[in-house]
Amino acid sequence: MIWRSKCIAAQGDRRMGRAYGALILPMLTLLLLARCGGGRAPATGAHFFLSVRNPAITVAQGGQATLTMSIERVGNFTAPVQLSIEGLPEGVEASFSPNPVPSDQTGVVLTLHASLQTPTGSHFLLVRAQGGSITREAQIQLTIGIAAPDFNIQLSLGSIGVVRGGSASLQVSLTRIGNFQDAVNLSLEGAPAGVTAEFIPTTLSGQQSTSMLNLHASASAATGSFTLTVVAIGGSIRRTAQLNLTVTVAPDFTLTLSSSDITLTPGGQTTLTITLTRIGNFAQPVTLGIEGLPTGVSASFNPSTIPGNQSSAALTLQVGASASPGVSTLTIHGTGGGLTRNANLTLRITETPDFSLSVEPSNLVVQQGGSVGATVRITRVGGFNETVALSLQGAPNGVSASFTPSSLAPGQNSATLTLQATAQAVPGTYQLTMVGTASFTRTARLTLEVRVPPDFLIALNPSSVSVAQGGTTTVRVAISAVGGFNDAVSLSAMNLPPGVSASFNPSTIRPGEESLLTLQVGTQVPHGSYTLIVQGTAGSLSHSVNLDLQVLISFQHTIQPIFTQRCAVLGCHDSRARTADLDLSAGNAYANIVNVPSVQDPNWIRVVPGDPMRSLLYRKVSEDNPPVGSRMPLGGRLTDEQILLIRLWIEQGARNN
């Protein structure tokens, strides 16, 4: 090996003559190899040598390089060899692979990685190999070179959120590598619609290393989660960093009044509904106030602060007897969560004949196929004595309105509004306008929500089952919700034929749950097809679905008793006599007939499932001149019903049921 320091002196001075080097180099080489662990100094017993192919290695700042070493074992030396290294400069990390070195491996790879901050220059490292009680060492010269000009960027935040109409900022940091001095231009890719970006500064030059990225979302910016890319370009180098951006709707609220224009006379009063609409998960309490009240008019709120889980309050205006006629614009304001929102109200105090219109409640909910009612009131002022005709504008298709009475004559101040929704009315929320018409018109606002009525659907899996006489089968019953239905549904089975019982487990379920319906078919239930009804009931709601039941002929309960009574009798086809090598006794008959060739004629199968005419058994009990032998049984023919049962059993697949 060639080393620096003491080991490197073995190279001699390259400027010396070739003759001198030829004389002393062999001796020095042997001496130094032994001292540095890689030579062949005399040794006895099991031991090993450590050698380095090239003991000089160069690593650039921020880079890494590898160096190959080897462990040579002598004299059956099998102990693992543990490697370590000394003299690493600051910022350099080293690893050996493998470490320790097992007995069946000789090659070792040393990997050196230098950080960007590692000082440049040369360093001498000492590698130590420890195996058992034997230690070997080798010296390596490490040269840290200047990194190639480059740069990278980092973001102070990997994820950031911004609300519509708001802004957010983060820092972009530039790390220059290997004397990189070019100016770096910053930009942003992937910003959603409505989101703008600004870098301050946009270009990092000289010794500048940081820029602030400011993101602003407009009031109409697209909401959701987006992956943005910060791009930095300097010279021919392009570096990027990913930024996760979430755009949300800012928590907010609005205030609306059931009427925005009211007329009162001195001594009169009215009550309006204030509706609070919450936006963007706004859930703070809102405190109400009013400004602009004229002299002699008082106002009260109930409640004065709308809790976080409520959305309305009542505003009562009382006009004193001394209040002067006039028109005032009142401002109702709500304050909560650091926000203030207003709603304007025009108050007319007049002795001129007039009226105002209001609806209570002003927020109505109706289900498809249902109806809802509200009270329409007029407040007469200034001696107003006309008849007011009532009408409604803005009702959606499928919703009709009726008034009782349809007009308010003098002395009448209230009517009942009935909204009737057909089953086809489109669900949704609609803004309606209540209109009162006399010699002039007054209006009031009304909100109507059409909902799908709560209901449920019932489904079976499967919807058709087959079961043999004396057998059982199961069907899964599921309930699904319509229109927010979540009540318990009681299950029952109807139209059961005699001998068939049904049980549900559980007998009551809710939407999203299942019940297991078990059908038990008695041995005497006639074979054939039946239509059962599975019914679900919840309060006044009831729905049913048909279940097709096919009762199959049972070999055990129907066919075997025929064989036992007429065929498996003493001296015939019983288990002892086995005439024609056929045992039709209970427990043996099925295995002796289904898909079994006849001993009388092997070309005939005793029972072919699904095909009575190719089944010798059926031919022998149904025909006077069967294709093989004579009609059976010998004691007299079976009844027509018994022959039919055997035929149907074969047609149904000759099952061992």
| Nearest Cα to Cα of residue 137 among 92, 90, 87, 103 | 87
Task: Give the strand pairing for 237-248 and 159-163.
Answer: parallel
CB 567 within 8 A of CB 642: no
Residue labelled with tokens 């692979």: 97
Which residue segments constitute the domains of the chain, with CATH numbers given? 5-145 (2.60.40.10), 150-248 (2.60.40.10), 253-351 (2.60.40.10), 455-552 (2.60.40.10), 555-651 (no CATH)
Distance of alpha carbon 528 from alpha carbon 526, whole angstroms: 6
C-alpha distances out from residue 202 to 64, 157, 242, 243, 307, Å: 33, 18, 18, 17, 47
Phi, psi of 437 (to 5 degrees): -120, 120
Strand partners, 345: 330
Average pLDDT, the chain: 89
DSSP annotation of 556: I
d(CA 139, CA 129): 12
| pLDDT at res. 472 | 96
Q: How many other β-carbons are positioned within 10 Å of the β-carbon of residue 44?
A: 7
Amino acid identity of residue 421, one-letter, is: A
Q: What is the pTM of this model?
A: 0.41
Which residue stretches of the chain have pLDDT < 50?
Answer: 1-43
Which of 290, 288, 437 lies closest to 357 in space, CA to CA?
A: 437
Q: What is the pLDDT of residues 459-509, one digit of tens each?
A: 999 999 999 999 999 999 999 998 889 999 999 999 999 999 999 999 999
pLDDT in tens, 512-556: 999 999 999 999 999 999 999 999 999 999 999 999 999 999 999
Would you say 434 and 357 are in contact if contact means Cβ atoms under 8 Å apart?
yes
Strand partners, 626: none
Which pLDDT belongs to residue 310? 93
Residue 420: its pLDDT value, please?
Answer: 96
**304 residue type, one letter:** S
- How distant is the alpha carbon of residue 349 from its chain centre? 58
Which DSSP string do the residues of 454-511 spell out, in sequence order? Answer: PEEEEEEESSEEEEETT-EEEEEEEEEEETT----EEEEEESPPTTEEEEEESSEE-T
- Residue-level pLDDT at 44: 55
**Angle formed at CA 112 by CA 3 and CA 142, multiple of 5 degrees:** 30
